[in-house]
Amino acid sequence: MAQFDPTHHPHRRFNPLTNEYILVSPQRSKRPWLGQVEPSQPTDLLQFDPKCYLCPGNFRAGGEKTEKYEHTYTFENDYAAILPPPVPAPPPVSHPLLTIQPVSGGCDVLIFHPRHDLTIPRLTLEDISRIIEEWIRIYRKRGAEEGIKHVQIFENKGSIMGCSNPHPHGQVWSMSSIPTLPSVEIASLIRYSQTEQPPSDAPKGPDDHPCLLCEYAFTEAKLGERVVVKNQHWVALVPWWATWPFEILLLPYHRHIPSIFHLTPEENLSFASIISKITIRYDNLFLCSFAYSMGIHQRPVPLASPEDTDEHDVCHLHLHFDPPLLRSASVKKFIAGIELMAEVQRDLTPEQAAERLRACSETHYLDKGSEHRGIH
């Protein structure tokens, strides 16, 4: 029998954050594809769109005015999914299988830049740093509000991710409960920190306990085959257990960092730089504005005071980039059938995906020949 070849033989990989297996079928990359082609993203956006409710000075559907902002701009979503307290509590359940829980909090919209046509990969490092500063400000402000336990910062980029407005913006949902996925991840981080682990040179978590993500980031940074780009503090990699074809996990690998609030000024700068490099590579992969969902996972709130510690200090700051595109600007991966009923399945291996992303330029394809070439 042939020797095992991960680019040829089907296998399963385990995701220790979610405790899920992923089915990898690399031999399938050759099958013909007859399915749906996505409408491509508009590439000729205006710099200012008088009909866009996120452009400076325009009115939103609810009648509110978006101010004439110069850099970032944050406002409470006019159609929030979560409302501020007090919210009436549901009555006691009529059956133990019909469990219901109250929820409160708030939904913020964060506009990244006044320019309607400039997504993150087109922004300067200074502009990206301003977005990071705004993330930190909202995380602290919402995290200090009564009853808030989790602040979910995320970005939906591109209409094929359901994003309803091309003006570059992200969202922040603050909730009175830790949502399903972060809470599964936190349980995994706590379990790992309390279980004996093999000796390692990786950084450690609180009280010198092992940290799953310190260990994983350190290992991947050393191995290199799934790394897309790294700098002094951060590593961006296609995780061993990636669901999406070109999924990226971005995290600090040189020390245990629970949240964006804990970043030093240098870590902050190199954070902006690596976000720029990842998103430019994404756009260059299929020469399009590359759609993704991005989310920041970090410690729940409220933050412990500097001298205090609590069990949530085991959280290790990381960003998930989940992009749907599979093989061109218009062919995406579907999460359907086998994924919804059994387990996630992928064709391209994470190592192949990382290699393709490494091969992409760090100069944006729309900036070719400009003064920006090669200086990111």
Window 9-48: residues binding a second copy (CB under 8 A): 9-14, 16, 20-21, 23, 25, 27-28, 30-36, 39
Q: Check whether 71 is labelled as a binding-site residue.
A: no
9 interacts with, out of a second copy, Zn ion, none, CB within 5 to 8 A per kind: a second copy
Please check whether residue 350 is in contact with residue 239, taking contact to mean a CB–CB distance below 8 angstroms: yes
Q: Check whether 316 is labelled as a binding-site residue.
A: no
Q: Which of 130, 230, 297, 332 binds Zn ion (CB under 5 A)?
A: 297
* 322 belongs to the binding site for Zn ion (CB under 5 A): no
Q: HSE (CB half, 13 Å, CA atoms) of 311?
A: 10
185 interacts with, out of Zn ion, a second copy, none, CB within 5 to 8 A per kind: Zn ion
* Residue 324 CA to its chain's centroid (Å): 13
Please confirm, yes or no, whether 169 is among the known catalytic residues: yes
Q: How many whole angstroms separate alpha carbon 210 and alpha carbon 205?
A: 6
* 66 belongs to the binding site for a second copy (CB under 8 A): no
Close Cβ partners of 217 (under 8 Å, ≥ 6 residues apart): 202, 235, 237, 251, 252, 253, 316
Q: How many whole angstroms separate alpha carbon 67 and alpha carbon 59?
A: 9
Of 160-189, binders to Zn ion (CB under 5 A) are: 185
Strands 20-24 and 11-15: antiparallel
Residues 8, 95, 150, 169: which is the catalytic one?
169
Of 229-258, binders to a second copy (CB under 8 A) are: 240
Q: Which of 112, 295, 298, 318 binds a second copy (CB under 8 A)?
A: 295
**Minimum CB distance to Zn ion, residue 316 (Å):** 9
What's the first-to-final CA gap in the chain, in angstroms?
48
Q: Which is closer to a second copy, CB of 342 or CB of 359?
A: 342
Q: Which of 341, 369, 370, 374 binds a second copy (CB under 8 A)?
A: 341
Q: Which of 44, 50, 126, 164 binds a second copy (CB under 8 A)?
A: 164
SS3 call for 214: helix
Burial class (CB in 10 A: 0-12, 13-18, 19+), 286: buried
**Minimum CB distance to a second copy, residue 351 (Å):** 11
Q: How many whole angstroms separate alpha carbon 294 and alpha carbon 112?
A: 14
Q: Check whether 116 is labelled as a binding-site residue.
A: yes
**Minimum CB distance to a second copy, residue 207 (Å):** 21
Please check whether residue 175 is in contact with residue 166, taking contact to mean a CB–CB distance below 8 angstroms: no
Task: Respond yes or no on whether the N-terminal peptide bond of residue 86 is cis (omega within 30° of 0).
Answer: yes
Compute CA distances 325 → 44, 51, 114, 199, 283, whole Å.
20, 28, 27, 39, 11
**Minimum CB distance to a second copy, residue 345 (Å):** 6
Locate tokens 């990636």: which residue? 242
* 68 belongs to the binding site for a second copy (CB under 8 A): no
Instruction: Name the segment binding a second copy (CB under 8 A); options: 121-129, 252-260, 306-314, 329-337.
Output: 329-337
* 84 belongs to the binding site for a second copy (CB under 8 A): no
Catalytic residue positions?
169
Give the residue ranges of the annotated binding site for Zn(2+). 52, 55, 116, 167
The site for Zn ion (CB under 5 A) is made up of 185, 297
Give the residue ranges of the annotated binding site for Fe cation. 185, 297, 318, 320
